[in-house]
């Protein structure tokens, strides 16, 4: 019996680079060595993408992910047939936005039924998603709702740095208001659990402050570090988690980059995303932690400017699939688990 996990791979926005990087990545020997991918998307668009990339593959259309054959050189596809053949590359499309949502919905259904052990997503376009009738800030929030989970965390991962976010798609003022000790503690716990699951028995976790110099004893800010962050760190430490903070963010990212910490807990979107994208936007991976199954994604967008040209780099998609396999169990029967 093949012990590698089955991974549902969603095609993303069909007008972007998703179909191109998916069709090439899922037949990569590096990917096939660690998992059994099944693409959820549109067969016609995948055929076009294969031709653009010059990838010689055979397509096997299946009604259900459980019917996939998992043969080398063959792309198993659950074909939803939602895109017109003449859909332009690189242009915003409500049809493509709706289709991207439907791919995710089918993948979540398969995961909740225990048919796949992980989900790996190609990029979607938020404006197209909204135009298609699905108003979510992004993949993370959509997956949480579809799987019946109240709270998840976004983790970004490169070879040098891993960052999990306490808040993500919020304006800065709203993000600071949202931060509180319980949320900080739960984020630390989710990040710790993900790294333990990946084989790091005791991750070293650095927790970032909100204000410059971690507030410098009240010189900057209004005591947010002491009121909002420190109690969450202390609660995690009391349970045996090796977490330290709040620490000045600029120094913390330097220390993590040189290897002093396995994970940084960032307080808001740009605090965490900026350093990660400087270090590795092409090979970075977006991981959602706290779902019933692991979900990974490329850490880049739909790249409409190069969609349909064959120029998209497939490295991030391959790495996303590799990390999905690394973090996933070989079997699962998940159920919706509401966060406290």
Same domain as 61, residue 93: yes
Confidence (pLDDT) at 95? 98
Same domain as 171, residue 61: no
Residue pLDDT, tens place only, 195-239: 887 778 999 999 999 999 988 888 898 999 999 999 999 999 999
Nearest-angstrom CA–CA distance, 147 and 104 = 11
pTM above 0.95, yes or no: no
Mean pLDDT score of the chain:
91
Same domain as 177, residue 94: no
Same domain as 117, residue 17: yes
Residue pLDDT, tens place only, 257-297: 999 999 999 999 999 999 988 876 555 788 998 888 889 99
Same domain as 144, residue 1: yes
Same domain as 190, residue 48: no
The CATH number of residue 204's host domain is 3.40.718.10
Confidence (pLDDT) at 282? 59
Nearest-angstrom CA–CA distance, 183 and 231 = 11
The b-or-e profile of 209-227 (16+ CB within 10 A means b, else e) is bbbebbbeeeeebeebbee
pLDDT at 331 > cutoff 60: no
Across the range 28-36, mean pLDDT stands at 95
Same domain as 179, residue 131: no
Same domain as 203, residue 104: no
Confidence (pLDDT) at 247? 97
pLDDT at 337 > cutoff 80: no
Confidence (pLDDT) at 159? 78
Same domain as 131, residue 2: yes
Nearest-angstrom CA–CA distance, 20 and 47 = 9
Across the range 62-87, mean pLDDT stands at 96
Residue 157: pLDDT band with limits 50, 70, 90: confident
335: left (phi over 0), alpha (psi -120 to 50) or beta: beta
Q: Which residue, among 179, 195, 117, 187, has the nearest Cα to 154 in the 3D structure?
A: 187
The boundaries of the domain holding residue 178 are 153-289
Same domain as 197, residue 113: no
Same domain as 250, residue 335: no
Same domain as 144, residue 16: yes
Instruction: Report the domain count for the chain.
Output: 2
């Amino acid at each position: 019996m093949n012990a590698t996990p089955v991974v549902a791979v969603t095609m993303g926005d069909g007008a972007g680079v998703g179909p191109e990087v998916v069709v090439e990545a899922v037949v990569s020997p590096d990917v096939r060595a660690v998992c059994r991918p099944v693409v959820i998307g549109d067969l016609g668009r995948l055929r076009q993408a294969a031709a653009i990339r010059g990838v010689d593959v055979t397509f096997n259309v299946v009604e259900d992910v459980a019917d996939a054959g998992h043969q080398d050189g063959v792309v198993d596809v659950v074909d939803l047939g939602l895109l017109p053949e003449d859909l332009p590359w690189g242009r915003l499309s409500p049809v493509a936005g709706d289709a991207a949502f439907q791919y995710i919905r089918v993948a979540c259904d398969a995961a909740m039924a225990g048919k796949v052990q992980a989900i790996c997503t190609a990029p979607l376009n938020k404006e197209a998603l909204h135009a298609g009738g699905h108003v979510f800030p992004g993949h993370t929030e959509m997956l949480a709702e579809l799987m019946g989970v109240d709270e998840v965390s976004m983790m970004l991962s490169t070879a040098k740095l891993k960052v999990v976010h306490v808040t993500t798609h919020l304006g800065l003022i709203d993000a600071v208001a949202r931060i509180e000790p319980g949320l900080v503690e739960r984020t630390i716990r989710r990040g710790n659990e993900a790294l333990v699951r990946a084989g790091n028995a005791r991750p070293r976790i650095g927790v970032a402050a909100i204000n410059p110099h971690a507030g410098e004893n009240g010189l900057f800010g209004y005591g947010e570090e002491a009121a909002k962050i420190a109690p969450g760190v202390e609660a995690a430490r009391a349970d045996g988690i090796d977490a330290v903070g709040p620490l000045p963010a600029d120094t913390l990212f330097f220390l993590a980059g040189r290897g002093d910490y396995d994970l940084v807990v960032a307080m808001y979107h740009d605090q965490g995303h900026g350093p990660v994208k400087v270090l590795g936007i092409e090979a970075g991976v977006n991981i959602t932690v706290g779902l019933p199954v692991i979900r990974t994604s490329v850490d880049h967008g739909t790249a409409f400017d190069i969609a349909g040209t064959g120029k998209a780099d497939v490295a991030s998609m391959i790495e996303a699939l590799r990390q999905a396999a690394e973090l996933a169990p070989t079997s699962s029967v998940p159920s919706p688990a509401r966060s406290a």
